[in-house]
Structures are given as structure tokens and as C-alpha cells.
Amino acid sequence: MTSHGADAAGGADALLAVLELLAGQAPSAHFETLLDEARLAGLSGEGLEQLERAVKLAGEVRTGREDDARREAGLTALTDTARDLTFSYDLDSLLRVITRRARRLLGLDMAFVTLRGPHGSCYVHTTEGARTGPESAGRTAGPRLAPGFRISEGYGLGGAVQLHGEPVWTADYLADERFAPSGSLDAGVHAPAFDEDAEAAVRGEGLHAIMAAPLRSGDAVIGVLYGADRRVRDHTSEELGLLAALADLAALAVEKAGLLDRTRAEVSELERDSSRVRTSLTRMRHVSEAHSRIMNLVLAGGDLGNVAKAAGDALDATVLIRDQGGRALAGGDIPGLDEEAVAKASLDAHARRRPVPADGDTWVAPVIAGSEDLGGLVIRAASGLTGEDERLLELAAQSVAFLLLMRRSTAVAEGPVRDELLDDLIADPPHAPQQIAQRARRLGVDLRRPHVLVLARPEGGEQGRAVVWASSYAYRLSGLKTVQGGCIVLLLPGIDASAAAKAVAAELSPLLGHPVSVAAAGPATSPDGVGRMHLEAGRCLDAMSALGGTGSAASVNDLGFLGLLLSDDHDVEGFVEGAIGPVLDYDAERFTDLTRTLEAYFASGGSPTNAAEALHVHPNTVSRRLERIGELLGPEWQKPGQVLEVQLALRLQRTREVLARGRATTDPTRPAAP
């Protein structure tokens, strides 16, 4: 075989060896070894050239295969990353996945993500591959690219990315004049801001080659994904593309996290709204049920006390019902009530026609019927009032107004019958007592109980309003009412005529806005006593007018000895008992002479010394007796008004004793003296 033939055979074998190495995916060093062996074997000329050409082509195939593998790995990583985004990770977890894969796929030393803050500045959100540990303590002193680190707006690669919205890279950032303080990225079009802290942080991490890709949301750049090496190196377009694709996925993660956060916030708000609606419905149901209970009480004929208690139970409060004059009609006691604040709140409540706070936990609700003021509710809540509580309070006030109107209507409807009964009771001559008692029982009036009679004479103005009030007042107190001679006549249960007169005056006079003269007499415990009380009250009213007492309130008993003169039965014994009864009882029990001492004291012109001479006792004895009398009759027994009644009572008592002795002397049944 010729030399040329041997070279051809050796070249063919070498080419076959190249194919075998390529098929076996041998490393590049094996191809170089094959070339060296061929040269040593004497391969030259065209055969060596073909072998070198084959090795070069094999290298290109091998590089292409590696590029395809890297491209396939990148696509696989992107697919895996996209799949990960479908999981319900939070933003931190998603960005950690992206930076970790960017670092591994691109062979980077470090990857990190910055996001734009609410005021335009950027901050580092996630890092992967940052220097940590004691070995880096000296190099990383000062600012560090750690989560939360802030970077000035428009700084460095990030500023260029935000401006143009395209990936940017540099082989050696710290040496790149484009990003120096005086540099220009685009020939003077943009000069990135300089941030000393950011420069120090990059220097502390020892970073050189850096590439950056934008995180886009629509047309806006919301952040930047960085890939960095601690060596100088170039980056290919494929690497930039892969980083940009990962940046797009990071932007999607940010949007997804934002959407999830907004969705969670909306769900939380919906849950809160639902909870508020459920709570509101529960309270509304409570208000409705409480109002139904209160209205059932009203419709069943319940009194104001029961309504006040039901409202108080529903509101967890103490409820006090007052009339238009501020007097309590029913309800509980509210200690420490600021009456001035309540009065101001009452005016405000009636003006606004709704409940208003008075002081602290005290509220006032107006009781109104149309434009008529019927009074108000004063409440003291244990723990304040909610909006639903205010509504319930308003409904309770309406229920009270309805009850008051029902009472007034009932009183007006029964008025003629009740008026006729009282007219018959005070008629002269009186009607048949048995028939009158039966009529009274049908109207719910028990004439066997003690009653007092009150005459009220309005001093001016219309009488109609006073008559309407009197009907309601008499019905409320289970009494009777009529009108005679310009006076309102009231027959009311009770034993204290004076208190009844003052109560009528205190309620009626403010209502009318002008004075009312009120006289009273009684008590009486039978139908035939009503006429007598009417006459006595009439005389009392006339006496008050004659004495200049117009617009005042008094009873026959309040007039002292004048009442004795005005009374039909001239109750001398009652007058004496009322004036000096305690002194007479004391003498009878202890056999003392306080009564004689009083007579001697008045006979001597109020001189204890002269009284002592008349009684043949020491003046100190008289003084001690007068002190005892003061204890029995009260400290004001020597005031002009009372002392006159005491003297009159002594005269009457002495006269009664004389008459009693005279009757005993002339009594034919009395045995003769021996």
C-alpha cells in the first residue's frame, strides 16, 4: 500500500473515531487527544485537514447540543415556575422560587428582586445568594443588599430598566462608565441617579457582572429582577431572554399576590359586613320583639309602671316616665340625676323629635302625640345605647304616648257618665245612696274607701284644656270629675286633703300657664259625705279669695280655726286635739299641770315669772314646763299663727270642761249627794 493510501486509511479511521466520540458525548478534551494521536501517527496533509475539520464540526455539534440542553432546561424551569404560580403561595414564597431558579439556571452568584414602593422609591424584596456569615463580616460592613434595603429612584441598571422597560446588562458594573455618577446610558438622554448606599452595597457583595429585567404590569414597570456574578463576564441574548421570562413570571406572581391580597381583604370585609348584618338583624329582632311586648302590655290595659319595667328590661336600663311638667308618673328611681342637664336635653329631644343624650349614660326621649307634648322618658343605661337601642327607646316613647292617649280617650268617653255620678253625689238633696254606690262600682270607684274632694278654679284663660286634663287626671287616679260653677270638682281616693290640693295645683297650673286656686276638704268614707265635703271646699275657696290667697292651694285643715268655722260639723274636738292634744295627753298620763301652766303663761302676758307667782311655784319650774311644752308642740308653737290656735284651743277646752261639769250637775240620773 502506498503512502497516500495509508494516509487515506488513517484519515478515515480518525474520522470514524470522531463520530464515535461525538456519539458517546465525550468531553472536548478527548477530541483534542484524538488530534494529537493522529499527528503522532504521521497523519498530515489533506487527511489531517479533514480530521481537524471534523473535530471542529463535532465541537459545534456538541456546543449546539449543550445550548439545546440549556434551552430545554430553561423552558422546563419556566414551565415549573409557571406551574408553581398556580399554587396558593404568598408573594415571598413565589419570589424566592423565581430568584433561586434564576440563579441555578443562569449559573449566577446572586439573584434579587426589587419592587417599587408607594412613593416611587424601590426596595429590595427578595435575595438569593447574598453573602452571610462571619467570613463576610469584614467585607459586608455597611449597607447590604438585604430585604428592605431602599434604592434611590432611577439608580443604576434598575433606573435604566424602569426608564426603557427593556433588559439591561453590564460585564463589570463598578467599572462601567455608563453607571458612574457622571455617566450617561444613552448619550446624554438619561443619566442614572447616584446612590452612595447602593454603590456601597454592590461593592460589599463583590458584584461585577449584573443583568436586570423589568417586572411589567401592563405598561408600567413595578420592579426589577437582577442576576449578578462576582466575576467579570459577558451575557448572551439567551441568558437575557431567560431572565426576562423569569421576570415576567415574577411580575405575574406580584399581580397574583396583589389580587389574592385584595380578594382576601374583600372576603374579610364581606365577612365583617355579614357579621354586622347578622348582628344588626339580631338586634332588630330584639327591638321588634321588645316593642311587641310593650305594645301588648299597652293594648291589654297595662299601666305605666308595667310599660316602664318592660322597656327597662329590654334596654338593660332604668326607665322613668315623666309628664310634661317634669313630674314622675311611673318607673324606677334614678339616683344622682342632673335635673338641669335633663331639662336641657328634654327641650332638645322635643325639638328634634327623637331621643338625645343628657349626661353620661342618661338619655331623654320625647313622648309626643302629633304636636302635643305629653312628657318624656328619662333612662339610665347600664352600658350605653346602640343605634338599635335608640330605636327601641323611640318606640317605647311612642307606646307610652299611645297609652296616655288611650287613657285620655277612655276618660273622655266615660266622662259624661262619671260627671253625672259626681253631680248626683254632691246634689242637694242627695240621691238614693244604694243606687249611687252601685253606679260607682260599675265605674270602678269604691266610695267606701276614704276620699277627698278638690275644687280647682283656673284664674283666667280657657277652661276647656283644664277640663280635658281633669278627665285624664281623675281617670288615672280612679276618681271622679265634674264641672260646676266655673270650678273643676275632683273626688279622689286619699286621706290627706291638703296634699291632694297641692298635687292638683302643681300639675294643672304649669299646664295652663296661669294660676289656679285649689281648695280641698275631707276625707269621707261614704257617699253621703261627698256633698258635705263639697260645701266645705267651696267655703274654703271663698275664704282663700277673701284673704288674698288667689292662686294658692289649701284645705280646710290648713286654715286652722278658720277651717273650724267653715266646717259643717264644727269639729271642736278635732281642732283642740290638733292644737294642744299632745299637752292634754301628757297631763293625763303623768298627772302634770302643763295645761294650767299654759293658761297662766298666756294670762300673765307671756311672763314666766308672773305665771310662777300665779301658780305658786318657782320660776325655774315654769321654765322647765315651757321647755317640755315646746318638745310636745314643736319649736314654733309660740309663733303668732300657732300661738293663736293654741290659745283658742285652751279656751275651747276649758269651755268644754265647764259644760261637762254643768251637765253632770243637772243630770237627773246622777245619784244625790249624801
Please choose, from the candidates 507, 497, 411, 410, the residue with its C-alpha nearest in 3D space to the C-alpha of residue 454.
Answer: 497
Which residue has better confidence, 381 or 184?
A: 381
Question: Which pLDDT score is estimated for 112?
Answer: 93
Question: Which pLDDT score is estimated for 492?
Answer: 92
Task: Decide if pLDDT at 134 tops 70.
Answer: no
Task: Decide if pLDDT at 360 tops 90.
Answer: no
As beta bridge partners, residue 226 has: 112, 212
Range scoring the smallest mean pLDDT among 75-79, 194-198, 522-526? 75-79
Task: Decide if pLDDT at 67 tops 50.
Answer: yes
Question: Which pLDDT score is estimated for 213?
Answer: 92
pTM over 0.75: no
Contact, 208 vs 171, CB < 8 A? yes
Of 110-114, 153-157, 418-422, 510-514, which one has max mean pLDDT? 110-114
Residues in the chain: 674
- Cell (9 digits) for 126: 427578595
**Tens digits of residue pLDDT in 88-122:** 567 788 888 888 888 887 888 999 999 987 766 78
- State residue 477 phi and psi, 5-degree precision: -95, 10
**Tens digits of residue pLDDT in 346-357:** 888 888 888 888
Q: Which residue has the cell 487527511?
A: 47
Question: Which pLDDT score is estimated for 406?
Answer: 74
Query: How far from chain centre, in Å, is Cα 61?
Result: 81
Q: What value does the mean pLDDT take over residues 159-187?
A: 76
Please choose, from the candidates 130, 125, 150, the residue with its C-alpha nearest in 3D space to the C-alpha of residue 140.
Answer: 130
Which residue has better confidence, 281 or 110?
A: 110
Question: Which pLDDT score is estimated for 170?
Answer: 92
Q: What value does the mean pLDDT take over residues 402-428?
A: 72
- The single-letter code of the amino acid at 139 is R
Identify the three-state secondary structure at position 458: strand
Task: Decide if pLDDT at 81 tops 50.
Answer: yes
Q: Which residue has the cell 283656673?
A: 458
What angle is formed at CA 511 by the lines to CA 508 and CA 516, rounded to 5 degrees?
A: 40
Residue 129 CA to residue 136 CA, distance in Å, equals 13
Question: Which pLDDT score is estimated for 265?
Answer: 85
Q: Which CATH class is domain 433-570?
A: alpha beta
Which residue has better confidence, 224 or 37?
A: 224
Range scoring the smallest mean pLDDT among 160-164, 293-297, 553-557, 647-651? 647-651
Query: How far from chain centre, in Å, is Cα 560?
Result: 58
**Tens digits of residue pLDDT in 526-542:** 888 888 888 888 878 88
As beta bridge partners, residue 69 has: none
Task: Decide if pLDDT at 36 tops 50.
Answer: yes
Which residue has better confidence, 652 or 237?
A: 237
**Is the CATH code 1.10.10.2840 the one for domain 573-664?**
yes
Task: Decide if pLDDT at 432 tops 50.
Answer: yes
Please choose, from the candidates 140, 284, 269, 154, the residue with its C-alpha nearest in 3D space to the C-alpha of residue 203.
Answer: 140
User: For 316-446, where are the alpha helices, taking DSSP H only?
Assistant: 339-352, 387-425, 433-442
**Tens digits of residue pLDDT in 8-20:** 555 566 667 767 7
Q: How crowded is residue 119: how many other Cβ atoms within 10 Å of its Cβ?
A: 6
CA terminus-to-terminus distance, the chain: 206
- Cell (9 digits) for 27: 468531553
Q: Which CATH class is domain 88-262?
A: alpha beta
Contact, 174 vs 232, CB < 8 A? no
Q: Are strands 372-381 and 220-228 parallel, antiparallel or unpaired?
A: unpaired
- The single-letter code of the amino acid at 597 is T
**Tens digits of residue pLDDT in 299-342:** 776 677 777 787 777 777 788 888 776 777 788 788 878 888 88
Task: Decide if pLDDT at 585 tops 70.
Answer: yes
Range scoring the smallest mean pLDDT among 431-435, 506-510, 635-639? 431-435
Contact, 377 vs 396, CB < 8 A? yes
- Helical (H) or strand (E) element with 615: helix 608-615
pLDDT band (50, 70, 90) for residue 673:
very low
Average pLDDT over the chain, rounded to whole? 76
Task: Decide if pLDDT at 138 tops 50.
Answer: no
Question: Which pLDDT score is estimated for 282?
Answer: 67
- Cell (9 digits) for 575: 281642732
Q: What value does the mean pLDDT take over residues 50-75?
A: 69
Please choose, from the candidates 522, 507, 447, the residue with its C-alpha nearest in 3D space to the C-alpha of residue 473.
Answer: 507
User: For 385-429, where are the alpha helices, taking DSSP H only?
Assistant: 387-425
- The single-letter code of the amino acid at 272 is R
Question: Which pLDDT score is estimated for 212?
Answer: 92
Range scoring the smallest mean pLDDT among 482-491, 518-527, 630-639? 630-639
Question: Which pLDDT score is estimated for 210?
Answer: 93
Q: Which CATH architecture has domain 301-407?
A: 2-Layer Sandwich (3.30)
